[in-house]
């Protein structure tokens, strides 16, 4: 039996430091300018699938409602098409905010473990960090295994079509010298909006 | 030079220093007592004190009393900007019995306490600035303001409701008014409106009587189809050149019978009718609208066959029994002298093409608000029938607010009138079509008398109000009911989800922006623009219709978006300010002009080409430069350039500035 | 460089544009570095290169000249006259070893309070990096360069003469 | 004309036809493409969703390598192009991005001064060729072929260096030049959902459907794309989409470079038409642009 | 002879041209010598420093000192003569404003010494010897004065009563000065003993200068033919006449060369170079940086142009940082 929950938010539910961290990330500095006009949600091709519209994500983020923001499916649905960002009348980097939130969710380990996008992102990340390049088939297979193995069966025809047109490759691509990239990326800063020590 | 006796004559320099707390505005950041204590230690300073509000009557009285009590002959006040209160304190100095130019002001509020946070550093800066002023004021001289008479006439530029109201006010006060309008008729944007909010009285009914009054007023010279091309001179004495474009009609002969229009070889219109927002056609010989003032036709040289060198039987000319049509007419120039100028050049509606998102120009039934004004107007292109491009009546209309406004990509400002006119149009459209009306808004702003009540009335009339800026207008349906219509995609932000609403007509509530030629006009009249391009008032609160050029005033939307009541109020204010200037009858010229000390002038001619006001000439007999104080505006350019140091600018003398620089840089 | 070096920037602002912009910055409570000392002139055309050099000679670490945008001068073209002098002056000042960042000319219109704030802060930061110019101190140094030698000799002479 | 060429990962796999047709086209037009040495994946949308600092460093590394070559850098993949542009922009705008990238590049002895101009083939073909160079080489004008140009997101968002953000038309102009008829439809800049096609297929396919149907309603014979993700997404799932929307007819989706190649009379290997899942040859033959299969030997070489 | 007023002439960093100008007084100097007693004149007569030292303070009525101050010896002599003289006159541009030697204030001392003792093409110095202030040999010590970092005008070292400008001053000015001295009819202290009006006042070319002059391009005199009758500025040559005190009789202009400013500024001007720059730049044509710069490119050496004689006495006095700084 589902119990009735209080929907109220107290000041103690807010994490203002979280809002500051997001503000400090590239493209996210203008979130306080938002007038909640909702253009972002109106123009977003996938806002119809989101639990919280992009407009609400901005409002919740700048107020520090970290849990609400990171637990909504919104950030994983975002296709990163930048429609919201270029149409925003206040020139807020909404897509950049979505990216920032995705990294925060993965850092915090609260991303949905079997939802396609976060699984794909992490597989992609690991593969590119290792080989320097992305191998489409390998990536698809690995992602499906971790998110939705059953779906792979549905893709068999697609695989066949690609095979027939010579566009299917199971080879793991890599840079001629991936080692230089390993070192290079190890030396990049973590840009996560936290103040450097 | 002996520090004690520099300046005027040989008397000892006795300086009084007064520092203002400005409540906590200054004292909150600057330790004013410490500054006063410090200044007291400087040479020639006889008294140094601080006061809560120096600009108050009591504060000014303190200065007057101290001048008498301490036999002061110099006064320095450290307070706000001299642009605000220099006049006040000069007057107080004068009341104390010494020449007002023995005063100098230090700006420690706008340039000090309001822009700095560190108390110690801000106090240090205030001390430095005070020391600079003390050093310079020693070298001040007694100066007299020259008086020049003011011409008893005024130029009003722009014949919209602002210009009309200002012109009538001045004319009724007995002043001669020249009203210059670029278009063939006065009336401006207001003449295009159908009704006015929130009372819904007919725009034409309230405007046209005023227009005809302008046309017949004995004190008003109305030059329509004309432009101001040059303005020279100074407050009270402006020389203006007005270009009168040829309308190919002898104005003194035309009686406005309009026979020529009937007889034009074009039986129907051949060119877009700009008055109807290009929703209809007009002929090359035309009158913009029935109640145009002056009631004179004009021939559009771009559309007229004859004026384009084509073969035409010129039936318009033969139809005119007064032979008023004159194809040979050329532009002419009028030269007038006026005492004051009121700039009322209006605004430009935002060009909806700049927001491609809303499909203006792509979907036929996306309209701008001004187009809809014409559509709902019974004298408009459809006679007041609101029909779509295919002739049908809309069943559902979306009105999108804030088009081009509140938008960093276009105009950052709120255009102030769009909410209210959108409500008005919603009401009129509902009345004309009985369609479902959807208002898509970000915020509804109704700060005016009766405005909120009007909003409520609209709500009660069954209009939909959806809080969300439209994200997309598309013709791609996803369910059958959307087929063949425009679909508005918007987040209903109060409901929290995205909605798709099919509509037949979209109205874009376009904002107001400066006219394209605003910066050209601004230069012509030597006034400033704010960063968005509207003309800048001298002070947003205290001098809202004045400009940085004395004798040039602003009225209406050229200064910023405003509705009709505010425009009329501002036009009245501009007229009143002009009247003050004219009725006083003289202007006092600031004495900060430059002069040549003949014995030092080698006559090298360096200064001659530098003066933009042609105030410098050469006395060939003496071989020296001479500055005409009436023409000199006191910029000081020649002073800087004079290689002999033979030119001096009052109040900005080399020795004053050097003293100021050098003392500003000594660390207290 | 001394600790907490606070540069001194002598600023010449024209009455109609930049001075008004500074007033606007004030009214808008925009915070900026307390490094400027403003001399108000009616027009930037009044700014005599002597003023600029005098400021440096008396201890300014930087000089900022603010005028109206080209075409906007209240006196039609005073700012162009300034521009011409400034173009030459900056070459002169640079050939005399003063870093170009210390002498700056900016067109700041009456409405650009924000720009004024930015310019002052930027210039302050640049000068902080360069360090103090300290011309008065250098002049003192130059004037006393030979004192040890010459005063000693003079004292000797005076002493032996008596 | 010589350029640095950044193929990106997709052009080596599912987007093979794009690389093949583009490089043959360049050859035909005397444009030299020199593949960037030891390039790495641009990072796309995924890498940036996991870790931001490394993501920018990853992208900027390619820019630094290109800067050494001193040539404009051509990136045919819309995803790569967009992310390279954005990284360049943010490298200059945000000190955090800059510092992180500088540190990272330093390990390899690289530095990036910010001088690389990232270009897209659309941009290069439209702006760099001498006037009429393309038109004069046309052997088989695409007469009568109705093309819906599909741009998707990245050429114009978030930065649009060479085309109108709201109504891009470079591809329209290029294909018009070679004789095609361009159909107008309102979906040409909408997102294809490419980023979601694997992870959330139902969402992506719904988006794809709207685009394809709009093109179809505009009576397009073929959809032209300029990005391997768009092409793949619009073409490969048509069967799956049809399961939900039986009204959708198969419509060929090709790279604009393939169509240009056809117009220039390049052979089948060069235009890589054989890599289509929804074949395009039939419509090209129908319009008389490609010779009829049976008659082919007779007209070959004409 | 003992009653005649004692007069001293001395030279510091100078070329000798000022001495020449004294000799140029010709017969007048002979006549003068009957009225005055010359107590020091190293160029012409053998007096010793110790003679001066032996005098009482203020015993010399007037000293005319030419040359800038660059060495410890010069500073020492300037102090000595100041003490012994009632009136000290800075004679000639170098003493007045630093003169040509002042131009070396653009270079560090070490660079100058290196050039003069090592790098100059005419130098023969196989051992690479540098001059020393002290040299010991066989128990004897030879000394040289200290060469300072900075060149100074006379009044930057000691108090100066009057100035006679010019490189070199012309004899008429000197005679007028000496007569004024002898008659006791002296102007106020600090006066420059030359007319307080710019050279243009008397320039015959002035009438050819139009009221709307605008200079498109500055030219360098050695690269062009100069019209002897037309204003130099009209022809595009940077003539400092408008910013320079008259009194020279327009000697350079008579020789068809633009004025280079040796007589220094008028009394209302504090920095001749800055004023000259301002006056010339103000009448340049052009409204954009590019247009203006291209006109000004004809003045490649602003310091040498505007401060040829006045750098030491200018507001900045010397190059501040010795590294070149301007990036165009």
Residue C153 falls inside a structural domain: yes
Cα distance between residue E64 and residue E87, in whole Å: 9
The set of residues, in sequence order, having a beta carbon less than 8 Å from that of D17 and lying 6+ positions away, is A167, D231, D254, D255, D258, D272, D273, D275, D276
**Pairing between strand D2-5 and B340-343?**
unpaired
Residue E324 falls inside a structural domain: no
Chain C: residue whose CA lies nearest to B129: C37
- Whether D97 and D77 map to the same domain: the answer is yes
Question: Which residue in this structure is represented by tokens 């049976």?
Answer: D294
How many structural domains does chain C have?
2
Confidence check: pLDDT of C162 > 70: no
- Whether C25 and C72 map to the same domain: the answer is yes
Q: Can you give the CATH number for the domain in which C28 is found?
A: 3.40.50
The set of residues, in sequence order, having a beta carbon less than 8 Å from that of A41 and lying 6+ positions away, is A47, A53, A54, A55, A56, A84, B468, B471, B491, B493, B498
- Whether C112 and C138 map to the same domain: the answer is no
Give how far Cα B117 sits from Cα of B9, B79, B81, D221, E155, Å.
43, 17, 18, 68, 45
pLDDT at E195: 95
Shortest distance between the Cα of D214 and any Cα of chain B, in A, equals 7
Q: Which of B78, B111, B117, B524 to mutate to test the interface with C (most CBs of C within 10 A)?
A: B111
pLDDT at E327: 39
- Whether B65 and B138 map to the same domain: the answer is yes
How many structural domains does chain B have?
5
Give how far Cα B161 sits from Cα of B568, C35, D45, D286, Å.
7, 48, 55, 65
Going across the sheet that includes B74-79, the strands are B45-51, B15-20, B74-79, B103-107
- Whether D167 and D117 map to the same domain: the answer is no
How do residues B433-449 score in pLDDT, each as one tens digit?
Answer: 999 999 999 999 999 99
Q: DSSP letter for E13, please.
A: B
pLDDT at D166: 87
Cα distance between residue B411 and residue B404, in whole Å: 6
- Whether B545 and B624 map to the same domain: the answer is no
Confidence check: pLDDT of B8 > 60: no
- Whether E166 and E60 map to the same domain: the answer is yes
pLDDT at B9: 54
Does any CB of chain B come closer than 8 Å to the CB of residue C64?
no
- Whether B433 and B563 map to the same domain: the answer is no
**Number of residues that this document lists for chain A:** 197
Structure tokens at B378: 């019974």
Of D288, D286, D290, residue with least CA distance to D274: D290
pLDDT bin (cut points 50, 70, 90) of residue E22 is confident
Cα A187 from chain centre: 23
Shortest distance between the Cα of A159 and any Cα of chain D, in A, equals 10
- Whether C26 and C105 map to the same domain: the answer is yes
Of C82, C104, C84, C81, residue with least CA distance to C94: C104
- Whether D157 and D293 map to the same domain: the answer is yes
E293-307 average pLDDT score: 95
Percent of chain A having pLDDT more than 70? Answer: 97
What fold characterizes domain A12-108? Answer: Fumarate Reductase Iron-sulfur Protein; Chain B, domain 2 (1.10.1060)
Residue E109 falls inside a structural domain: no
Q: Which of B453-457, B595-599, D118-122, E107-111 has the lowest mean pLDDT?
A: E107-111
- Whether C138 and C124 map to the same domain: the answer is no
Helices and strands in chain B, H and E counts: 15, 34
How do residues A6-23 score in pLDDT, each as one tens digit?
Answer: 889 999 999 999 999 999
Confidence check: pLDDT of A197 > 60: no
Neighbours of chain D (3+ CB pairs under 8 A): A, B
Residue D126 falls inside a structural domain: no
Residue C4 falls inside a structural domain: no
How many structural domains does chain E have?
2
Q: Which of A141-145, B195-199, D208-212, E316-320 has the lowest mean pLDDT?
A: A141-145
- Whether E174 and E273 map to the same domain: the answer is no
Percent of chain D having pLDDT more than 90? Answer: 86
Cα distance between residue A181 and residue A178, in whole Å: 5
A90-118 average pLDDT score: 94
Percent of chain A having pLDDT more than 90? Answer: 69
Question: How do the residues of chain C divide into helix, strand and coil, expressed in percent and rounded to 5?
Answer: 50, 15, 30
Per-chain mean pLDDT for chain B: 94
Domain that holds residue D290: 132-299
Does any CB of chain E come closer than 8 Å to the CB of residue C53?
yes
User: Chain C residues with CB inside 8 Å of B124's CB?
Assistant: 34
Residue ranges of alpha helices (H) inside E161-222 are: 171-183
Other C-beta atoms closer than 10 Å to the C-beta of C147 total 12
User: Chain C residues with CB inside 8 Å of B536's CB?
Assistant: 110-111
The set of residues, in sequence order, having a beta carbon less than 8 Å from that of D109 and lying 6+ positions away, is none
Residue C3 falls inside a structural domain: no
Domain boundary among B89, B119, B144: B144
Confidence check: pLDDT of D302 > 50: no
Of E170, E113, E180, residue with least CA distance to E147: E113
Cα distance between residue B602 and residue B611, in whole Å: 18
Cα distance between residue E104 and residue E102, in whole Å: 5
D107-123 average pLDDT score: 95
Residue C1 falls inside a structural domain: no
How do residues B447-505 score in pLDDT, each as one tens digit?
Answer: 999 999 999 999 999 999 999 999 999 999 999 999 999 999 999 999 999 999 999 99
How do residues E54-71 score in pLDDT, each as one tens digit?
Answer: 999 999 999 999 999 999
Structure tokens at B36: 């006063």
The answer to whether B491 contacts A55, with C-beta atoms less than 8 Å apart, is: yes
pLDDT at E292: 94
- Whether C16 and C28 map to the same domain: the answer is yes
Chain A: residue whose CA lies nearest to D274: A165
How do residues D25-67 score in pLDDT, each as one tens digit?
Answer: 999 999 999 999 999 999 998 999 999 999 999 999 999 999 9
Using alpha carbons only, give the angle B471, B475, B477 rounded to the nearest 5 degrees.
95
Cα distance between residue D5 and residue D18, in whole Å: 13
Of E258, E275, E64, residue with least CA distance to E169: E64
pLDDT at E271: 97
Q: Can you give the CATH number for the domain in which E92 is found?
A: 3.40.50.700
Does any CB of chain B come closer than 8 Å to the CB of residue C99?
no
Cα E197 from chain centre: 18
The set of residues, in sequence order, having a beta carbon less than 8 Å from that of A6 and lying 6+ positions away, is none
CB contact at 8 A, C114 and C108:
no
CA quadruple E199, E204, E210, E213: dihedral sign? negative
pLDDT at C157: 60
pLDDT at E61: 93
Query: Higher pLDDT residue, B576 or D294?
Result: B576
CB contact at 8 A, D192 and D211:
yes
Domain boundary among D121, D145, D171: D121
Domain that holds residue E68: 6-101+149-183
Q: Can you give the CATH number for the domain in which D60 is found?
A: 1.20.1050.140
User: Chain D residues with CB inside 8 Å of A119's CB?
Assistant: 199
CB contact at 8 A, D93 and D159:
no
Domain that holds residue C156: 134-162
Question: Which residue in this structure is represented by tokens 């209009």?
Answer: B463
Out of B402, B409, B471, whose CB is closest to A42? B471
Residue ranges of alpha helices (H) inside chain D are: 16-28, 44-50, 52-69, 78-93, 95-106, 121-127, 133-136, 170-177, 201-217, 228-236, 238-244, 256-263, 268-271, 281-286, 296-299
Percent of chain B having pLDDT more than 70? Answer: 98
Confidence check: pLDDT of C94 > 90: yes
Residue E125 falls inside a structural domain: no
- Whether B358 and B368 map to the same domain: the answer is yes
Residue B659 falls inside a structural domain: no
Query: Higher pLDDT residue, B529 or D285?
Result: D285
Confidence check: pLDDT of C160 > 90: no
- Whether E176 and E217 map to the same domain: the answer is no
pLDDT bin (cut points 50, 70, 90) of residue D217 is very high
pLDDT bin (cut points 50, 70, 90) of residue B614 is confident
- Whether D112 and D218 map to the same domain: the answer is no
Intra-chain end-to-end CA distance of chain D, in Å:
30
Out of C26, C60, C111, whose CB is closest to B110? C26
Give how far Cα D191 sits from Cα of A158, C32, D196, D206, D208, Å.
22, 44, 11, 11, 8
The set of residues, in sequence order, having a beta carbon less than 8 Å from that of B576 and lying 6+ positions away, is B169
Domain that holds residue B222: 153-245+333-346+515-584
Q: In which element (H, E) is residue B272 found?
A: strand B271-272
How do residues B34-61 score in pLDDT, each as one tens digit?
Answer: 999 999 999 999 999 999 999 999 999 9
- Whether B471 and B356 map to the same domain: the answer is yes
Residue E191 falls inside a structural domain: no
Residue E319 falls inside a structural domain: no
Domain boundary among D121, D151, D185: D121
- Whether D285 and D184 map to the same domain: the answer is yes
How many structural domains does chain D have?
2
Residue E80 falls inside a structural domain: yes
Query: Higher pLDDT residue, B3 or D270?
Result: D270
**Number of residues that this document lists for chain B:** 668
Confidence check: pLDDT of B128 > 70: yes
E223-251 average pLDDT score: 95
Q: In which element (H, E) is residue E136 found?
A: strand E134-137
pLDDT at D213: 95
Structure tokens at E180: 């004024």
Q: Can you give the CATH number for the domain in which D249 is found?
A: 3.40.50.11810
User: Chain E residues with CB inside 8 Å of B618's CB?
Assistant: 211
Out of C60, C81, C109, whose CB is closest to B637? C81
Does any CB of chain B come closer than 8 Å to the CB of residue A40?
yes
Is the N-terminal amide bond of E168 cis, ω within 30° of 0?
yes
Confidence check: pLDDT of E144 > 50: yes
How do residues E46-56 score in pLDDT, each as one tens digit?
Answer: 888 999 999 99
Domain boundary among D121, D151, D181: D121
How do residues B79-100 score in pLDDT, each as one tens digit?
Answer: 999 999 999 999 999 999 999 9
- Whether E87 and E204 map to the same domain: the answer is no
- Whether D42 and D107 map to the same domain: the answer is yes
pLDDT at D86: 96
Chain B: residue whose CA lies nearest to E272: B643
- Whether D160 and D262 map to the same domain: the answer is yes
pLDDT bin (cut points 50, 70, 90) of residue A194 is confident
Confidence check: pLDDT of B64 > 90: yes
- Whether C41 and C116 map to the same domain: the answer is yes
Task: Classify D165 as helix, strand or coil.
Answer: coil
- Whether D47 and D183 map to the same domain: the answer is no
Where exactly are the structural domains of chain A?
12-108, 116-186
pLDDT at B5: 44
- Whether C104 and C141 map to the same domain: the answer is no
Cα distance between residue E73 and residue D3, in whole Å: 70
Q: Which of A7, A38, A74, A84 to mutate to test the interface with B (most CBs of B within 10 A)?
A: A38
Of D77, D89, D43, residue with least CA distance to D62: D43
Q: DSSP letter for B497, please.
A: E
Confidence check: pLDDT of C70 > 70: yes
B166-192 average pLDDT score: 97
pLDDT at B613: 84
Cα distance between residue B7 and residue A194, in whole Å: 61
Other C-beta atoms closer than 10 Å to the C-beta of D53 total 24
Is the N-terminal amide bond of D158 cis, ω within 30° of 0?
yes
Percent of chain B having pLDDT more than 90? Answer: 92
pLDDT bin (cut points 50, 70, 90) of residue C155 is low
pLDDT at A136: 87
The answer to whether E213 contacts B641, with C-beta atoms less than 8 Å apart, is: no
Structure tokens at B71: 């036999």
Residue E292 falls inside a structural domain: yes
């Amino acid at each position: 039996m589902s119990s009735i929950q209080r929907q109220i938010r107290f000041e103690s539910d807010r994490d203002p430091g979280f809002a500051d961290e997001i503000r400090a990330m590239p493209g996210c500095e203008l979130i306080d300018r938002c007038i909640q006009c909702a253009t972002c949600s109106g123009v977003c091709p996938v806002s119809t699938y989101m639990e919280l519209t992009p407009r609400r994500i901005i409002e919740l983020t700048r107020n520090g409602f970290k849990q609400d923001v990171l637990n909504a499916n919104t950030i994983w649905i975002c296709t990163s098409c930048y429609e919201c960002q270029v149409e925003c009348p206040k020139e807020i980097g909404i897509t950049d905010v979505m990216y920032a939130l995705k990294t925060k969710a993965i850092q915090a380990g609260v991303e949905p473990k079997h939802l396609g996008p976060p699984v794909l992102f992490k597989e992609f990340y690991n593969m590119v960090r290792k080989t320097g390049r992305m191998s489409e088939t390998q990536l698809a297979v690995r992602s499906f295994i971790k998110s939705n193995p059953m779906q792979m069966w549905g893709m068999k025809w697609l695989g066949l079509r690609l095979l027939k047109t010579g566009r299917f490759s199971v080879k793991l691509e890599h840079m001629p010298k991936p080692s230089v990239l390993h070192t290079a990326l190890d030396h990049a800063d973590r840009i996560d909006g936290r103040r450097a020590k | 030079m002996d520090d004690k006796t520099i300046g005027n004559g040989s008397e000892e320099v006795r300086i009084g220093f007064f520092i203002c707390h400005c409540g906590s505005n200054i004292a909150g950041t600057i330790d004013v007592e410490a500054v006063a204590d410090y200044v007291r230690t400087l040479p020639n300073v006889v008294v140094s004190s601080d006061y809560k509000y120096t600009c108050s009557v009591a504060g000014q009285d303190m200065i007057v009393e101290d001048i008498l009590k301490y036999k002061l002959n110099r006064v320095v006040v450290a307070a706000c900007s001299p642009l605000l209160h220099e006049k006040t304190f000069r007057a107080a100095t004068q009341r104390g019995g010494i020449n007002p130019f023995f005063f100098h002001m230090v700006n420690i509020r706008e340039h000090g306490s309001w822009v700095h946070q560190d108390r110690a550093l801000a106090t240090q800066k205030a001390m430095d600035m005070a020391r600079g002023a003390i050093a310079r004021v020693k070298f001040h001289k007694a100066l007299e303001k020259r008086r020049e008479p003011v011409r008893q006439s005024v130029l009003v530029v722009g014949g919209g409701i602002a210009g009309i109201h200002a012109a009538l006010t001045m004319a009724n006060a007995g002043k001669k008014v020249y009203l210059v309008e670029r278009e063939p008729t006065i009336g401006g944007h207001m003449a295009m409106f159908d009704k006015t909010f929130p009372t819904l009285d007919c725009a034409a009914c309230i405007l046209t009587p005023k227009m005809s009054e302008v046309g017949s007023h004995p004190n008003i010279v109305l030059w329509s189809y004309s432009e101001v091309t040059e303005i020279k001179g100074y407050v009270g004495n402006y020389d203006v050149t007005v270009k009168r474009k040829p309308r190919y009609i002898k104005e003194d002969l035309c009686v406005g019978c309009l026979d020529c229009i009937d007889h034009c070889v074009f039986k129907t219109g051949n060119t877009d009718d700009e008055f109807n927002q290009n929703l209809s056609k007009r002929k090359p010989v035309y009158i913009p609208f029935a109640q145009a003032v002056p009631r004179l036709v004009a021939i559009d040289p771009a559309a007229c066959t004859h004026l384009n060198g084509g073969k035409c039987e010129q039936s318009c000319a033969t139809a005119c029994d007064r032979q008023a049509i004159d194809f040979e007419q050329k532009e002419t120039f009028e030269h007038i002298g006026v005492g004051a100028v009121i700039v009322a050049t209006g605004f430009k509606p935002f060009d909806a093409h700049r927001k491609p998102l809303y499909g203006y120009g792509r979907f036929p039934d996306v309209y701008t608000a001004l187009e809809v004004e014409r559509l709902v107007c019974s004298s408009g292109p459809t006679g007041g029938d609101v029909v779509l491009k295919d002739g049908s009546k809309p069943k559902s209309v979306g009105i999108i607010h804030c088009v081009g406004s509140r938008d960093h990509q276009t105009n950052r400002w709120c255009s102030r009138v769009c909410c209210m006119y959108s409500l008005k149009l919603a009401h009129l459209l509902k009345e004309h079509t009985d369609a479902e009306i959807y208002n898509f808004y970000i915020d509804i702003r109704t700060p005016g008398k009766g405005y909120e009540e009007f909003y409520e009335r609209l709500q009660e009339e069954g209009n939909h109000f959806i809080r969300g800026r439209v994200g997309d207008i598309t013709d791609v349906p996803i369910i059958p009911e959307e087929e063949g219509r425009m679909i508005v995609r918007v987040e209903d932000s109060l409901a929290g989800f995205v909605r798709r609403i099919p509509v037949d007509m979209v109205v874009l509530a376009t904002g107001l922006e400066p006219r394209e030629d605003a910066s050209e006009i601004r230069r012509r009249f030597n006034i400033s623009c704010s960063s968005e391009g509207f003309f800048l008032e001298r002070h947003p609160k205290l001098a809202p219709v004045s400009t940085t050029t004395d004798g040039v005033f602003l009225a209406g939307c050229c200064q910023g978006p405003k509705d009709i009541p505010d425009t009329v109020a501002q036009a009245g204010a501009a007229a009143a300010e002009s009247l003050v200037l004219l009725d006083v009858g003289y202007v006092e010229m600031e004495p900060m002009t430059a002069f040549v000390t003949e014995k030092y002038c080698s006559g090298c001619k360096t200064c001659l080409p530098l003066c933009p006001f042609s105030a410098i000439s050469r006395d060939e007999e003496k071989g020296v430069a001479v500055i005409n104080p009436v023409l000199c505006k006191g910029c000081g350019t020649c002073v800087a350039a004079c290689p002999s140091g033979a030119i001096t600018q009052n109040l900005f003398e080399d020795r004053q500035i050097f003293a100021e620089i050098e003392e500003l840089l000594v660390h207290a | 460089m001394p600790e907490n070096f606070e540069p001194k920037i002598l600023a010449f602002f024209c009455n109609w544009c930049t001075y008004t912009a500074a007033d606007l910055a004030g009214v808008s409570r925009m915070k900026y570095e307390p490094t400027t000392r403003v001399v108000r002139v009616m027009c930037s055309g009044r700014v005599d290169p002597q003023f600029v050099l005098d400021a440096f000679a008396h201890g300014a670490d930087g000089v900022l000249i603010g005028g109206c945008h080209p075409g906007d001068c209240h006196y039609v073209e005073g700012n162009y006259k300034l521009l011409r002098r400034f173009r030459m002056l900056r070459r002169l000042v640079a050939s005399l070893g003063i870093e170009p960042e210390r002498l700056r000319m900016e067109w700041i219109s009456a409405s650009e309070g924000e720009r004024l704030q930015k310019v002052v802060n930027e210039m302050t930061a640049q000068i902080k990096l360069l360090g103090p110019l300290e011309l008065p101190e250098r002049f003192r140094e130059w004037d006393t360069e030979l004192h040890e030698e010459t005063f000693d000799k003079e004292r000797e002479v005076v002493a032996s003469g008596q | 004309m010589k350029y640095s060429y950044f193929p990106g990962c997709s052009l080596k796999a599912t987007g093979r036809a794009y690389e093949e047709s583009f490089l043959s086209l360049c050859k035909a037009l005397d444009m030299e493409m020199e593949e960037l040495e030891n390039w790495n994946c641009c990072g796309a949308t995924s890498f940036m969703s996991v870790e931001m600092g490394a993501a920018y460093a990853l992208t900027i590394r390619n820019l630094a390598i290109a800067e050494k070559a001193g040539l404009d850098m051509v990136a045919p993949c819309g995803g790569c192009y967009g992310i390279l542009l954005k990284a360049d922009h943010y490298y200059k705008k945000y000190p955090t991005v800059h510092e992180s990238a500088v540190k990272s590049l330093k390990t390899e002895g690289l530095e990036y001064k910010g001088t690389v101009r990232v270009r897209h083939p659309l941009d290069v073909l439209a702006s760099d060729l001498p006037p009429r160079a393309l038109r004069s080489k046309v052997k088989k004008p695409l007469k009568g072929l109705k093309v819906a140009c599909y741009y998707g997101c990245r050429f114009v968002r978030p930065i649009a260096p060479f085309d109108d953000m709201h109504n891009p038309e470079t591809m329209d102009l290029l294909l018009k030049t070679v004789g095609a008829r361009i159909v107008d439809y309102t979906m040409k800049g909408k997102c294809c959902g490419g980023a979601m096609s694997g992870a959330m297929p139902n969402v992506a396919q719904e988006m794809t459907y709207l685009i394809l149907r709009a093109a179809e309603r505009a009576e397009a014979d073929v959809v032209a794309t300029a990005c391997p993700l768009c092409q793949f997404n619009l073409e490969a799932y048509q069967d799956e989409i049809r399961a939900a929307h039986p009204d959708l007819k198969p419509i060929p989706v090709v790279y604009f470079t393939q169509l240009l190649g056809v117009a220039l009379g390049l052979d089948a290997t060069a235009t890589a038409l054989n890599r289509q899942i929804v074949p395009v040859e039939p419509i090209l033959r129908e319009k008389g642009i490609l010779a009829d299969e049976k008659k082919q030997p007779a007209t070959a070489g004409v | 002879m003992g009653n005649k007023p004692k007069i001293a002439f001395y030279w510091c960093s100078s070329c000798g041209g000022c001495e020449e100008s004294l000799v140029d007084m010709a017969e007048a100097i002979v006549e003068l010598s009957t009225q005055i007693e010359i107590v020091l004149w190293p160029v012409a007569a053998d007096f010793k420093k110790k003679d001066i030292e032996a005098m009482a303070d203020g015993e010399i009525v007037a000293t005319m000192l030419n040359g800038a101050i660059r060495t410890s010896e010069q500073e020492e002599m300037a102090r000595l003569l100041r003490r012994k003289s009632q009136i000290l006159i800075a004679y000639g541009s170098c003493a007045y404003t630093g003169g040509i030697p002042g131009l070396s204030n653009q270079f560090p001392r070490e660079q100058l010494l290196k050039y003069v003792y090592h790098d100059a093409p005419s130098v023969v110095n196989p051992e690479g010897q540098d001059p020393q202030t002290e040299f010991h040999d066989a128990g004897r010590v030879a000394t040289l004065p200290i060469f300072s970092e900075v060149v100074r005008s006379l009044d930057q070292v000691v108090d100066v009563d009057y100035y006679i400008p010019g490189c070199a001053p012309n004899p008429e000015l000197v005679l007028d000065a000496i007569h004024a001295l002898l008659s006791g009819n002296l102007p106020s202290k600090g006066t420059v003993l030359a007319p307080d009006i710019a050279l243009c006042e008397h320039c015959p070319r002035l009438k050819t200068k139009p009221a709307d002059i605008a200079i498109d391009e500055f030219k360098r005199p050695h690269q062009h033919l100069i019209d002897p009758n037309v204003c130099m500025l009209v022809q595009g040559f940077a003539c400092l006449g408008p910013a320079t005190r008259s009194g020279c009789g327009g000697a350079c202009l008579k020789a068809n060369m633009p004025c280079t400013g040796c007589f220094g500024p008028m009394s209302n001007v504090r920095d001749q170079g800055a004023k000259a720059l301002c006056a010339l730049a103000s009448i340049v044509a052009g409204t954009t940086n590019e247009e203006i710069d291209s006109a000004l490119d004809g003045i490649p050496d602003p310091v040498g142009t505007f401060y040829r004689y006045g750098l030491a006495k200018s507001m900045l006095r010397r190059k501040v940082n010795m590294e070149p700084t301007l990036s165009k």
